[in-house]
Amino acid sequence: MPIQVGQRMPSVTLRVMTDAGVKEVATGDLFKGKKVALFGVPGAFTPTCSAKHLPSYIDNSAKLKEKGVDAIACVSVNDAFVMGAWGKAQNAGDKVMMLADGNGELAKQLGIELDASKNGLGMRNKRFSMLVEDGVVKQLNLEAAGEYKISDAETLLKQI
């Protein structure tokens, strides 16, 4: 069963590409004492993720911060090198933290795994967005497989 509003985020280690190389990011540290807009995509460099999903958060980063969001983060079951390259290609800069869940650990613990094996992509996470405050899920928008209707930044902005 997928994580629900009111539940605490699981404790896992994600990775992010920095100028100094790959850095580990513990979810406990990421969410502690902060309001975080977290969204997940099935794959970096994929059509909907690149044309719509990530750009919606980059374009609305200032509006999210005006509503009290401390950090905006994108997560995918890709490695830190791919997430870093995708962030650069999309000009995410310091607007969106590009988090790698390389082994799908977060996806598993959130209960949002997506089996994309038929497309040669293996296990991924479903497309989603959530607002996490001090480690607790306050809003959750989980898409049905293949859809992009409710996990965009505009929807999350309306919910804050």
Torsion angles phi and psi, residue 59, rounded to 5: -65, -30
List the catalytic residues: 49
> How far is 99 from 120, CA to CA, in rounded Å?
22
CA gap 72, 148 in Å, rounded: 19
The strand pair at 35-40 and 128-133 is best described as: antiparallel
β-sheet bridge partners, residue 24 = 15
Number of neighbours of residue 16 by Cβ within 10 angstroms: 19
- Is the separation of the CB atoms in 15 and 25 below 8 Å? yes
